[in-house]
Structures are given as structure tokens and as C-alpha cells.
Amino acid sequence: DGGITQSPKYLFRKEGQNVTLSCEQNLNHDAMYWYRQDPGQGLRLIYYSQIVNDFQKGDIAEGYSVSREKKESFPLTVTSAQKNPTAFYLCASSINLWGYEQYFGPGTRLTVT
Amino acid sequence: ILNVEQSPQSLHVQEGDSTNFTCSFPSSNFYALHWYRWETAKSPEALFVMTLNGDEKKKGRISATLNTKEGYSYLYIKGSQPEDSATYLCASGYYTGNQFYFGTGTSLTVIP
């Protein structure tokens, strides 16, 4: 089955620790995205990547880092510099940017205490 | 940061009713408008992607229109069914800065 996987579903970390969220797709899509959802707010774009070894910041990239070494994988690292890391994180992919529908993973709920 | 607004925030309708939602977005440098359906405990699922002014798309009982000049899109559901219950998200993309913004969604509950 083609799709996007994110792991783990729930993640708990202590404040001050970096944590990496996994996102893998087997849809052969060029573009991948990371979004964050907070209560009462729309999905907000953290980072996106149009091709391998290239990625761009979204509006809320501060405190996050990504890599795109393989077409299938787009891991997100939440660093200790992110002031409010507790949130629901969604990964998505599409054939190319913006003009194509995005396919979403199941999400990771991160709780930092 | 651009503001994409959706109304109403929530909606309860009886099974069989037709309904519609609105998505308003800044029209300057507009590239594309997306609609997604997000059911509880599932991932958002794409309904439509529209790019041209006057675009109309249809999938079964659901249809959407786009007005890029005035910056709005309507989503229509004809003869609502309980399985239509979900949050409906719109998002708009822009040439400038290659950014993409989601609204906060319209939560639809269809009462059997």
C-alpha cells in the first residue's frame, strides 16, 4: 500500500531534549511538508522540501530543523530552542508544490514536560 | 503571515439537508486553493485543488467554486449524510515566498 507513515504516534520528552519525528513516503512524491497543529489554530507550515537536499522554511521554522537526504524521508527535529514544542505534528507529501493535493500521514503527538 | 478565514466555525445539519461553507483568502499573488476533509482519528484527505478563477469542481455530492479576484471559495454538500461529518479545511498557496496557509476549519455534524 502506498502512503505516508509517521512514527511514533505519541512521544514524550523532557524539556531541553532534542527529539526527531520520522516521516516516510512511498508515493514517489517530490514535495514533502511538516505542519504543526495547536488547539484553535489552523495547520501551520514549519518546513517544506521540493526536492532532495533542498528545503525551505515555513512561517514557524524557529526551533526546528529538517533534512532531505532521500526522496522518501523528511525527518523533523524539534530542538530545545523551540519554546512551545508540545503540539500535534503532521507530515504530508505531494507530486510537486502547491498546485497538487497533499497526502497526509497519521501524525505524531509530542508532549514536552 | 496571511489570514485564511473559514465560516462558519461549526455547523449541525439534519441528514438530507444541503449545506455550504466559505473560505476567504488574500487574493494577491494567489497560486492555488485546496479543500480537505478531516475525520476524527484519521488523516486529512484532499477533496479539491483549484487554481483558476471561476474553477468549479465536483466529487459526488460535494462541489466547490473559486473566485480568485475577490478571494473566496465555497464548498457545497448536497443531501448531507452522517458520514459527511468531519472538519473541512481550506488552504491557499501563494507565489510570494512559496507559502501555504490553512484556515481553522468548519466542523460539520450531520444528525441522522
Distance from CA of A77 to the nearest CA of B (A): 21
User: Which residues, in sequence order, are bridge partners of residue A19?
Assistant: A78
- Residue B13: which pLDDT band, with cuts at 50, 70 and 90? very high
Q: What letter does residue B71 receive in the DSSP assignment?
A: T
Contact B4, B21 (CB under 8 A): no
From the list A97, A3, A87, the residue with the least C-alpha distance to A58 is A97
CA distances (Å), origin B39, targets A51, A89, A99: 30, 16, 23
Residue A46 has pLDDT above 90, yes or no: yes
In a 13 Å sphere around the CA of B102, the CA atoms on its Cβ side amount to 27
Residue A92 has pLDDT above 80, yes or no: yes
Residue A29 has pLDDT above 80, yes or no: yes
Distance from CA of A55 to the nearest CA of B (A): 12
- For A37, phi then psi, to 5°, come to -120, 130
Q: Among all residues of chain A, which has the CA nearest to that of B42?
A: A106
Flag whether residue B3 sits within 8 Å of chain A, measured between CB atoms. no
pLDDT, tens only, A63-75:
999 999 999 999 9
> Is beta strand B106-111 parallel, antiparallel or unpaired with respect to B10-14?
parallel
Residues shown for chain B: 112
Flag whether residue A75 sits within 8 Å of chain B, measured between CB atoms. no
Which of B43, B51, B102 is closest, CB to CB, to A42?
A: B102
* Ranges assigned E (strand) in A1-113: 4-7, 10-13, 19-25, 31-37, 44-51, 54-57, 64-66, 76-78, 87-94, 103-104, 108-112
Predicted pLDDT of residue B1 = 67
Which of A41, A43, A98 is closest, CB to CB, to B32?
A: A98
Mean of all residue pLDDT scores within chain B: 94
Predicted pLDDT of residue A40 = 84
Contact B59, A107 (CB under 8 A): no
- Residue B50: which pLDDT band, with cuts at 50, 70 and 90? very high
Chain A residues within an 8 Å CB radius of B89: 42-43
Cell numbers for B109, please give them.
455534524
- For B6, phi then psi, to 5°, come to -120, 140
Predicted pLDDT of residue B53 = 86
